[in-house]
Amino acid sequence: MPAEIFSMDVEMLDKLNKGYVDSVQKSDVRWFDEHLSDDFLNSNPDGSIVDRAGFLAQIAKPMALKGLRPVDVRIRILGEIAIIHARTTFTKPGGTPGAGRYTDIWQRRVGRWLCVAAHVTRG
């Protein structure tokens, strides 16, 4: 892959990653409806797994955590697949700091990146 195209993909995936986290915080179902694949699966912090419809239902509920932000973001592009690993920081409902990790898997489908899977942990 030419360096110029690789750089554009990294920029796009970085923007999508920021949009993902921002949309979780804002309960923005519309953003996810546009950026998740039809076969999307999410592993929740409690160990459960939900499909696209289940995830959208979860996102529609107001987020109890405040100040959710990604840190230590690593974007790896492997052909038509990209894996984003990152840490999150946030404030828990009681006001104490919290942190977690996530891994999002994106696939280029028909010329655009769609999230096909995610895994979230929180401490």
DSSP 47-104: S-EEEHHHHHHHHHSPPS-EEEEEEEEEEEEETTEEEEEEEEEEE-TTS-EEEEEEEE
Alpha-carbon distance 39 to 92, whole Å?
31
Question: Which CATH number is associated with domain 3-122?
Answer: 3.10.450.50
pLDDT for res 5: 60
Q: What distance separates the 2 farthest-apart alpha carbons in the chain?
A: 48
Alpha-carbon distance 108 to 48, whole Å?
26
Query: What ranges do the domains of the chain cover?
Result: 3-122
pLDDT for res 19: 98
Would you write out the chain's pLDDT as a tens digit for each of its 123 residues?
566 667 899 999 999 999 999 999 999 999 999 999 999 999 999 999 999 999 999 999 999 999 999 999 999 999 999 999 999 999 999 999 999 999 999 999 999 999 999 999 997
Neighbours of 65 (CB within 10 A): 16
The three-state secondary structure class of 108 is strand
